[in-house]
Amino acid sequence: MAGAAWDAFERRMRELVDLGGIAGVIGWDQQVMMPPKGAELRAHQSTALASLLHERVVDPAFGEAIEQAEAEPDSLDDARRASLREARRDRDRAVRVPADLVRELAMAEAEGFEIWQKARPAKDFAMFRPVLERLVALKQQEADAIGHEGERYDALLDAYEPGMRLVRLEPLLHELRDGLVPLVAEIADRPRPDVSFLARDFPAHMQIEFSERVMRDLGFDLEAGRQDESAHPFTSGAGPYDVRLTTRIVPGDPRGSLMGTIHETGHGLYEQGIVGKKIERSFAGMAPSLGLHESQSRLWENQVGRSRAFWEHYYPAYREAFPDALVDIELERWLRAINIVEPSLIRVEADELTYNLHILIRFELEVALLRGNLAVADLPAAWNDAYRAALGVEVPHDGDGVLQDVHWSGGAFGYFPTYTLGNLYSAQLMEAARRDVGDLDEQFRRGDFAPLLGWMRKHIHSQGSLQPAEETARAATGKPLEPANLLAYLRAKYGELYDLA
């Protein structure tokens, strides 16, 4: 197991991992702690660190270190092989894109973000269109530089969901869509639950207090992490022993802070679980894909945090925390309120069920853009048509339509499907956990989340990137990725809540 070549590679890898941890901390700091006038300076600093990391990855000496370590297979166990696999993937992607294109992309992405920040409130797609056209063209060039087998989208998707390909993803998502659209339509015909009580007074400090209690109960270790407030909730940090979550108070809706916290806690539990001497401070000690990461946030938020059993445990205490607001609200009404299905315009406000339709619309459109089957000029109309067809809603203006998300403005094409992959994974993982650890609902009713967390720790978290995401999930569940579990779960849950036949 010794190996001078491995040691030389490991030194370089550790530097990248350690400096990457620093990038995590300063990214968190920027959104949570930084005073406003510090923004320009911080942009320079983050750029300096990102450039440096890129320089280290494309350094020919790093390429040689990878090759030489690969050439001593006797010195490699599965964790080392996984780190080398990830190193080669990252480096290949990085060196294939010419420096000029890297620069052009960085400039277009910075400009895209800046213009988008103005175009969205101005509801002005024409303002955004030129830079989006440039971005699409540059991403096509980038995809060609990275290489693909006919689908440019694959080269971009691979950055977020390594190993996933359109030829597999597209039928999977179409099958999901075909199951979801009629279910959403059925529910749209049912009476809408009255959720007007959500506008009552839920004091902010009690919301934070309750969300921290739940975070702790679910198993988040506050000695190895923290929670703060930020405008947009996220999870970041310096590594598995320093995981930073954020939440926010949504005025007029107490569900926002609690569900946001549970969602980020799911990410945080994953990060805190990617430990063990074999994988720490290595590329193997990272999640293998955004989709698998998102499976953890979605699982704890939706499958746990919006379940009847969860609230049978927590609702009495929740009601006690907000006695005035919830005086006349029984558990059943609360359950319907946190699981209300409403076809709507805005992805980030969407419910568990329709959320996937928002994603599928974006996925179809970005695939068409990358394939050259859709011109940027035709994007708003295509967007509006898709919302009408899938969700039955009319888009009043582009600010609440095609301009609503930040992703494309920063060049993040291929990112959206990872959200829905997270939902697919979460349904399959939950089914497998139910099979392995007994009656989860009964455990939740007792406030016992340790068996579920233990199962995730063993089958997902501690696996890091030892295998690609789908292999990890397949080993845990015994099945390939498929929409059946998610559809069955959604149909059962919402069938009951909405009295469907």
Which residue from 48, 71, 126, 317 is in contact with a copy of itself, where contact means CB under 8 A? 48
Interaction between residue 21 and a copy of itself (CB under 8 A): yes
Which residue from 168, 241, 451, 491 is in contact with a copy of itself, where contact means CB under 8 A? 241
Query: Rounded to the nearest whole angstrom, what is the least distance from the CB of residue 42 to a copy of itself in the complex?
Result: 6
Task: State the catalytic residue, choosing from 264, 271, 366, 470.
Answer: 264
Interaction between residue 61 and a copy of itself (CB under 8 A): no
Interaction between residue 394 and a copy of itself (CB under 8 A): no
Which residue from 4, 7, 22, 73 is in contact with a copy of itself, where contact means CB under 8 A? 22
Chain center to CA of 322: 31
Nearer to a copy of itself, 35 or 191 (CB): 35
Assess contact for 277 and 455: CB atoms under 8 A: no
Nearer to a copy of itself, 49 or 406 (CB): 49
Scanning residues 208 to 227, which ones bind a copy of itself (CB under 8 A)?
A: 221-226
Q: Which stretch binds a copy of itself (CB under 8 A): 122-130, 233-241, 354-362, 393-401?
A: 233-241
CA distance 114 to 208: 32
Tell me whether residue 264 is one of the annotated catalytic residues. Answer: yes
Q: Are strands 235-239 and 225-229 parallel, antiparallel or unpaired?
A: unpaired
Site mask, a copy of itself, residues 267-296, x = CB under 8 A? Answer: --------------x---------------
Is the C-alpha dihedral spanning 278, 284, 287, 291 positive or negative? Answer: negative
Query: Rounded to the nearest whole angstrom, what is the least distance from the CB of residue 386 to a copy of itself in the complex?
Result: 43
Assess contact for 157 and 168: CB atoms under 8 A: no
Interaction between residue 34 and a copy of itself (CB under 8 A): yes
Interaction between residue 319 and a copy of itself (CB under 8 A): no
Cβ count within 10 A of residue 493:
18
Is the C-alpha dihedral spanning 391, 393, 398, 399 positive or negative? Answer: negative
SS3 (DSSP) at 439: coil
Interaction between residue 8 and a copy of itself (CB under 8 A): no
Query: Rounded to the nearest whole angstrom, what is the least distance from the CB of residue 14 to a copy of itself in the complex?
Result: 7
Nearer to a copy of itself, 76 or 238 (CB): 238
Q: Which of 231, 244, 223, 212 is nearest to 28 (CA)?
A: 244
Query: Rounded to the nearest whole angstrom, what is the least distance from the CB of residue 236 to a copy of itself in the complex?
Result: 12
Assess contact for 307 and 444: CB atoms under 8 A: yes
Interaction between residue 44 and a copy of itself (CB under 8 A): yes
Interaction between residue 42 and a copy of itself (CB under 8 A): yes
CA distance 377 to 129: 7
Amino acid in position 388: R
Which residue from 1, 37, 196, 251 is in contact with a copy of itself, where contact means CB under 8 A? 37
Which residue from 33, 61, 346, 488 is in contact with a copy of itself, where contact means CB under 8 A? 33
Question: What is the length of the chain?
Answer: 501
Interaction between residue 99 and a copy of itself (CB under 8 A): no
Cβ count within 10 A of residue 366:
25
Q: How many residues bind a copy of itself (CB under 8 A)?
A: 37
Sheet holding 225-229, edge to edge: 225-229, 242-247, 235-239
CA distance 325 to 316: 13
Amino acid in position 433: A
Task: Copy the structure tokens of residue 426.
Answer: 């979460």
Q: Which of 20, 6, 4, 7 is nearest to 285 (CA)?
A: 20
Interaction between residue 50 and a copy of itself (CB under 8 A): no
Catalytic residues: 264
Which residues contact a copy of itself by CB under 8 A? 14-15, 18-19, 21-22, 25-26, 29, 33-38, 40-42, 44-45, 47-49, 51-52, 221-226, 238-242, 281
